[in-house]
Amino acid sequence: VPPANVYLFAHHVFQQLNHWPEDGEKDYGRNIYRLAAYLTPKFRAQLTAELDLKGRRGELTGRVRTVQQLPGHGYEERRVDVRGNGVWTVWLDLDLEESVDGMAVKHSVIRYPLRVVRFDVDREKNPFGLALDGYAGQPERLPEDDGAPPLEKERK
């Protein structure tokens, strides 16, 4: 699978997962269910546990979320690391905004290191044969002035 395809897959699925157009309490769970074919069972369980925790804390009710790729931070070869046979790490630099009742409550620029794996179990539901398998490290808050630090693999 070409690295550009892996990147586009990860970006598309992760963006859809984190798009809550009306109410995070309903939208997030729907998204996890709707995108289940593109998530490994392990990551789906992790997301479901996060959904439950955020719900109990009241962090989802009435919350609208949008996630966009940072301008100038799209696909480049260095943003996809081939880890082995059918395993990749993809770094997405995203602008995350949340609001409740039209009032902004959160604005963060975050680098998400995502683990993508070959997952060719049902071509009918997942023609890409790939799945998000979780985070490949801790998401990292980036400065909002576009002074993003080098990718983890470039720091070595």
**In the chain, what is the greatest distance between 2 CA atoms, to the nearest angstrom?**
46
Q: Give the angle 130-52-137 at the CA atoms, nearest 5°.
A: 45
Beta bridge partners of 24: none
Region of residue 135 (phi > 0: left; psi between -120 and 50: alpha; otherwise: beta)? beta
Q: What pLDDT score does 100 carry?
A: 96
Quote the DSSP letter at residue 36. G
Residue 152 — pLDDT band, cuts 50, 70, 90? low
Domains annotated for the chain, with CATH where assigned, are 3-154 (3.10.450.230)
Q: Which tens digit of pLDDT belongs to each residue from 10-59?
A: 999 999 999 999 999 999 999 999 999 999 999 999 999 999 999 999 99
CA 130 vs. chain centroid, Å, equals: 14
